[in-house]
Amino acid sequence: MVLAKEAMFLFSVMVVFGFFTTTVISGTVYNVGDSAGWNGGNVDYHMWASTKTFQVGDTLVFQYNQQLHNVVRVSLSDFHLCNAFNPIVTYSTGNDTITINGPGHFYYICGFKGHCQAGQKVDIRVPKPYQLTDIRSASATKAPVEASQGEKRDLTE
């Protein structure tokens, strides 16, 4: 009985922690191409990405017919060349979830012949997170200059 209670307690802790990490730490889930998914066609993936503000912790979901498409993460030059033969990672389940774990550009193309050339490619740009440490170091270096210009007020707002 005691063991069961402890197990229950541990389980509740895990549920609460899981809830916390999901809601606070994890970000937005983006279905690439929205309802059209990652099936090429007439979807303008450049346009799709340009309307989003990606952040570290967000999740990308690529959904597609795995007989006809895949997802290949490539370098910038291979992105421009539509070269899928030098992959950083290849996904092919048809329902791939990718968590953005850092800032930078994430270039994805379809590796099936001609698809990337036809526009099945997307550049996910993730800016550096704005961190408290950045604010501190920025104010530490900028404060004297700003103070002399009478702009120190901005720092406290």
Ligand X SMILES: *[C@@H]1O[C@H](CO)[C@@H](O)[C@H](O)[C@H]1NC(C)=O
Residue 43 or 116: the one with the smaller Cβ distance to ligand X is 43
> Which of 95, 99, 117, 139 forms a contact with ligand X (CB under 6 A)?
95
Contacts with 40 (C-beta within 8 Å, 6 or more apart), sequence order: 69, 110, 115, 118, 119, 120
Smallest distance, Cu ion to C-beta of residue 45, A? 11
- Alpha-carbon distance of 140 to 157, in angstroms, equals 16
In whole angstroms, give the CA distance from residue 70 to residue 78: 16
Instruction: Give the residue with the Cβ less far from Cu ion, 55 or 83.
Output: 83
User: Residue 122 CB, nearest distance to Cu ion (Å)?
Assistant: 12
Which helix or strand (DSSP H or E) is residue 86 part of? none
CA distance 87 to 99: 18
Shortest separation between residue 103's beta carbon and ligand X, angstroms: 24
Task: From the list Cu ion, ligand X, none, pick the one residue 110 interacts with, judged by a Cβ distance below 5 to 8 Å according to partner type.
Answer: Cu ion
Q: Please, are residues 114 and 35 in contact by the beta-carbon 8 Å criterion?
A: no
For ligand X, the nearest residue by Cβ is 95
Question: Any contact of residue 65 with ligand X (CB under 6 A)?
Answer: no
- Among ligand X, Cu ion, none, the one that 98 touches (CB under a kind-dependent 5 to 8 A) is none
For the chain, give percent helix, strand, coil, nearest 5.
Answer: 40, 20, 40
- Which CB sits closer to ligand X, 35 or 133? 35
Residue 137 as a binder of ligand X (CB under 6 A): the answer is no
Strands 121-126 and 104-109: what pairing? Answer: antiparallel
Minimum distance of Cu ion from residue 63's CB (angstroms):
12
97 binds ligand X (CB under 6 A): yes
Q: Binding residues for ligand X, per CB under 6 A?
A: 63, 95, 97
